Amino acid sequence: MIGPIEAEIITIGDELLIGQVINTNQAYIAEQLSLVGVRVAAMTTVGDTMEEILAAFGDAWRRRQVVVATGGLGPTHDDLTKKALCRFFQTDLVVNDGLRSHIELLLQRRNISWNPAADEQTRVPRTAALLPNPVGTAPGMLFREAAKLFFVLPGVPYEMKEIVDGSIVPLLTSTISGSAIRHRTLRTTGITESMLAHKLGNLEEILEWASLAFLPSPTGVRLRLTVHDHDDTRATQRIAVAEEKIRSRVEPYIYGTGTEELEDVLGQLLAKRGLTIAVAESCTGGHVADRITNVSGSSAYFGRGVITYSNASKIALLGVPPELIELRGAVSREVAEAMAAGIRASAGSDIGLSTTGIAGPTGGTPEKPVGLVWIGYADATAALAKKFQFGDGRLRFKERASQAALEVVRRRILRLD
């Protein structure tokens, strides 16, 4: 198969159309296809009706060289994909003995008895090549017609990923040539999209090497570089040049690449330097500690986190002087610094981190509006606090405040401030 290759992704399920389930399958499949040189030209989502599924199959198969469909492979009455495949490819369902053995073993490991639903899962279209699903009962399937490929995957995201990574990516990598696509995503925080664009300056010096997309979110802006080339080595070189040009202009704001989260990067910094951290949270309600402990191995550098939501808890657990709260208010530079110093002292950690703010939608004043947060930091040399204003939206506020808190620590460790 000679590139460039175009693909279409079909996702099946009423739950996707009504917004009950977020369609993450499309994004994952598209990214993996792109990484092996396949351009996703279209995405289609249809409901659980035979007519719509068949129409989507027909349109995609006529237009594209690669089709990837997900969903509807379960054993219930609304799972129609296998029946639709039989009609579309003019075949019938048969019991696959190898699949039956796999399902039997899977159910035994989960202490589940054999049942009619399991029996139904052993039946697959006769002409399909099966793609192993090590974590579920529904295998992936592949139909071929000359140089065209039609993949069908279960809709459960973790099962879909197993088959994409274990079967589809290796197969496409071995059959596609003549098309190289490279992506590089630089993750920034603490700077707006417009300010990033301003600091990057003349974008033509970057765009002559790669295309560039700005992808803003509540916690930062992702800068996605993309290169399409016929030569693999040249594609890699072009994206490296483009990345270097970006880094030379906005390096302090780039905390990671790809899918790295700020807590991953910070955890690596803390572990590498042998530092420990403790957290005292008010307005973020434990979100900072939650993110830190999302990282495997975080017990090496994180030993304590407390939620001191009330003034009384700030006094009792962190040693914040009551007169300080009375004089300056709980949401203030002085209290944030005292909280950070207090949690550092009580935990015996190298770093103390704190948050105190007004998440809203109530509680704000002209002097201290909703969205205000002070983030405190303390180490052996200093105690300080930084002021941020994140606007309204309680959950979005907590997300942004926790990101800013982790970034305060990263920048202090790297001496970027």
pLDDT in tens, 115-155: 998 899 999 999 999 999 999 999 999 999 988 999 999 99
The domain ranges of the chain are 5-175, 180-257, 262-413
Let me know if the fold of 180-257 is the same as that of 262-413. no
Query: What is the rounded distance in angstroms from the CA atom of residue 401 to the CA atom of residue 284?
Result: 7
Encoding tokens for residue 334?
Answer: 């002085």
Amino acid at 21: V
Instruction: Give SS3 for 334.
Output: helix
pLDDT of 8 higher than 50 = yes
How would residue 56 be classed by pLDDT, with cut points 50, 70 and 90?
very high
Taking the C-alpha atoms of residue 100 and residue 123, their distance in angstroms, rounded to an integer, is 9
Confidence of residue 215 (pLDDT cuts 50, 70, 90): very high
pLDDT over 70 (residue 1): no
How many other C-beta atoms can be found within 10 angstroms of the C-beta atom of residue 365? 11
Q: What is the pTM of this model?
A: 0.77
Q: How far apart are CA 132 and CA 122, in angstroms?
A: 13
User: Looking at residue 2, what is its pLDDT?
Assistant: 47
CATH of 180-257, one of 3.40.50.720, 3.40.190.10, 3.30.70.2860, 3.40.50.300: 3.30.70.2860
Segment 186-205 mean pLDDT: 96
d(CA 43, CA 26): 7
Residues 296-320 have a mean pLDDT of 97
Q: Are 245 and 209 in contact (CB under 8 A)?
A: yes
Q: Is it the case that residue 96 has pLDDT exceeding 80? A: yes
8 Å CB contact between 402 and 262: no
Burial of 33 (0-12, 13-18, 19+ CB in 10 A): buried
For position 179, what pLDDT does the model report? 66
Residue 113 has pLDDT above 70, yes or no: yes
Q: CA-CA distance, 108 to 36, in Å (whole number)?
A: 37
Write down the architecture of domain 5-175 according to CATH.
3-Layer(aba) Sandwich (3.40)
Rounded to an integer, what distance in angstroms lies between the CA atom of residue 204 and that of residue 192?
Answer: 20
Query: Residues 343-362: pLDDT tens digits?
Result: 999 999 999 999 999 999 99
What's the pLDDT at 268? 98
Read off the pLDDT of residues 370-415 as tens digits, 9 standing for 90 and up.
999 999 999 999 999 999 999 889 999 999 999 999 999 999 999 9
Fold that domain 262-413 belongs to in CATH: Maf protein (3.90.950)
Instruction: Look at residues 220, 290, 293, 287 and name the one whose alpha carbon lies nearest to residue 257.
Output: 220
- CA distances to 8, 128, 130, 262, 385 from 140, in Å: 17, 9, 6, 34, 53
Find the mean pLDDT for residues 19-40: 92
Question: 212 - beta bridge partners?
Answer: 225
Structure tokens at 211: 């295309």
DSSP secondary structure string, 169-200? HHHHHHH-BS-EEEEEEEEE-SS-HHHHHHHH
- CA nearest 82: which of 139, 4, 17, 20? 139
Q: How confident is the model at residue 30 (pLDDT cuts 50, 70, 90)?
A: very high
Phi, psi of 120 (to 5 degrees): -65, -35
Mean pLDDT rounded to a whole number for the chain = 94
Helix (H, G, I), strand (E, B) or coil at 306: strand
Name, in order, each residue with C-beta under 8 angstroms of 400's C-beta and a sequence gap of 6 or more: 218, 219, 388, 390
What is the mean predicted confidence (pLDDT) over 213-225?
94
CA distance 323 to 315: 10
